[in-house]
Amino acid sequence: MTEHAVVIAGGGPTGLMLAGELALAGVDVAIVERRPNQELAGSRAGGLLSRTLEIFDQRGIVDRFLAEGQIAQVTGFAVTRLDISDFPTRHNYGLALRQKHIERILAGWVSELAVPIYRGRELMGFTQDDTGVTIELSDGASLRARYLVGCDGGRSLVRKTAGIEFPGWDATTSSILAEAEMTQEPPLGVHRTALGMHAFGREEYEIRDGKVVFATEGPIGVMVTEKSVGARGEPTLDDLREALIAICGTDYGIHSPTWISRFTDMSRQAAAYRKGRVLLAGDAAHVHSPVGGKGLNIGVQDAVNLGWKLAQVVKETSPESLLDTYHAERHPVAARVLRTTMAQVALQRTDERTEALREVVLELLGIEEARKRIAAEMSGLGIHYDLGEGHPLLGRRMPDLDLVTPDGPMRIFTLLHNARPVLLNLDAPGSFDITPWSDRTKLVYAKYDGAWQLPALGSVSAPTAVLIRPDGYVAWVGDRTQDGLHEAMNTWFGP
């Protein structure tokens, strides 16, 4: 039986990101992935939001994604685009990039970190005891791990086997996605009529002046709303033709599909993100409509929140209770995403009453304060973990400031490349003694004379010291005092 400290079920974006985080922390981690390679059939998530780009920047890999994607103001709410170009971040935009490319880039990063991946094998079941989890694979082999993390999607076998409830709301809408050939050229772009929504596009496209310009050749991607909800099993070409005729009046001679899939607006969330030595992340913990493009992004953010905590528990520098903060911090974030996606689905309905409501919402989002608040939420830049009362920075993502250090100019995010916590001293040199934690926390003396600004909140007072967690969120803020610093260090980085 092969042993690992952590086994991750699922090699999608969430599983890959978590594996990378654990490997950076020096934890023996492995992935079990049913696909024989990283190829992904179908068109799933299509972009990265601002906060996810910041996370990749924190690990020094954002340029890999920027080199292949297309920058655009893609943050939005329902049918409304929300401009974030005035937000105080280096990545005040979204990135249009297909999930298959996101996965390929992440898989390349993980391979550099020497993470083993058991490809072409599925997790068939597991049992857990006081010291670990025994995992049975489809090829008859067994793995032993101290912890198992389910990143195995909305139908998660890990979640079901662990007996974790998955409450929520059933689907009210259903759509078919496909890529196929057509004998007639359909109208490219997104269209909304009284009969429903439909969209056509090609794999190759450019974004010019904020608008998508598709290539003129190649298979055509299709999205069309179905009249019925609740169909079981995989959709067929006949199902797709029927839906197109119902909405468009023609099926455009569609034939030779490369792939066909279905998605709905079912919204569910795991009642607990942890049960003993089993944890959940990504779609295994929460599913919802893809409107707003949040799914892949909050899965990656789950992984970055969990990774350093799980690493510290595995390495026994922190007590197991640290894992409880994963659910406490991430469950409310996903619960809010479920609410906002359900609201957006409601605003996309095509009846006259919804049209009236949509017009009112558009007016409200035209107000600067409302635009900034919703845009910060939709881009992921407005996340605020409840870490107590105090400075506005506490519990929020640390801005990527340009510092002046004894070693020369340096960015905050550069300090986070190795996924270690940072105590940033902006006061006099030598004013902090963190000897008990010096092997776990990087102490950096620096100067910064610019403004401190947060998305949606605006300017905040300049602190004299900041304790930054490996995920980039602020765990403690000093304002000419060290009160509470040792308590924060104990809480987050072990006694």
Distances (CA, A) of 485 to 224, 424, 465, 477: 54, 12, 10, 8
What radius of gyration do the chain's Cα atoms show? 23
The token duo for 475 is 């765990």
pLDDT over 70, % of the chain = 95
The pLDDT of residue 146 is above 90: yes
Q: CB neighbours of 166 closer than 8 A, spacing ≥ 6?
A: 159, 268, 269, 270, 271
pTM exceeds 0.85, yes or no: yes
- My answer on whether 300 and 154 are in the same domain is yes
Please state the domain count of the chain.
3
pLDDT given for residue 278 in this prediction: 98
What pLDDT shows up at residue 36?
86
Note the pLDDT of residue 435: 85
Instruction: Tell me how far apart the alpha carbons of residues 274 and 191 are, in angstroms, rounded to a whole number.
Output: 41
Residue 392 lies in a domain: no
How much is the pLDDT for 205?
Answer: 65
* 390, part of any domain: no
User: Residue 454 in contact with residue 460, Cβ under 8 Å?
Assistant: yes
CB 80 within 8 A of CB 100: no
**Same domain (yes/no): 121, 140:** yes
Instruction: Let me know whether 431 and 361 are in one domain.
Output: no
Domain region containing 157:
2-168+268-379
Is 110 within the bounds of a domain? Answer: yes
Report for 60-69, 221-230, 247-256, 257-266: range of highest mean pLDDT: 60-69
First to last CA, the chain: 34
285 — pLDDT class (breaks 50, 70, 90): very high
Same domain, 131 and 218: no
Q: Give, in order, the Cα–Cα distances in Å from 54 to each of 58, 232, 380.
A: 6, 38, 10
Question: Is 393 within a domain?
Answer: no
Distances (CA, A) of 47 to 29, 91, 101, 375, 381: 27, 13, 10, 16, 16
Q: What is the residue type of 18?
A: L
The answer to whether residue 14 sits within a structural domain is: yes
pLDDT tens, 188-218? Answer: 888 878 777 888 887 776 666 666 666 667 7
Phi, psi dihedrals of residue 467, rounded to the nearest 5°: -100, 120
Concatenate the DSSP letters of all residues of 370-405 into one string.
Answer: HHHHHHHHHHTTT-B----SS-TTTTBBPP--EEEE
* Domain end point (choices 344, 379, 414): 379
Q: What CATH number has the domain bearing residue 80?
A: 3.50.50.60
CATH number at residue 239: 3.30.70.2450
Residue 108 lies in a domain: yes
Q: What is the mean pLDDT of residues 363-387?
A: 95
Cβ-proximal residues to 169 (8 Å cutoff; 6+ apart), any chain: 266, 267, 268, 342
Report the CATH number that the domain containing residue 475 is assigned in CATH. Answer: 3.40.30.120
Q: Do 149 and 58 have their domain in common?
A: yes
Q: Are residues 136 and 237 in the same domain?
A: no
Asked whether residue 319 is assigned to any structural domain, the reply reads yes
Establish if 139 belongs to a structural domain: yes
Q: Are 259 and 357 in a shared domain?
A: no
Same domain for 220 and 145: no
Residue 96 or 308, more confident = 308
**What CA–CA distances, in Å, run from 302 to 310, 411, 473?**
12, 24, 13
Crossing angle of helices 368-379 and 352-365, rounded to 10°: 100
Q: What is the mean pLDDT of the chain?
A: 92
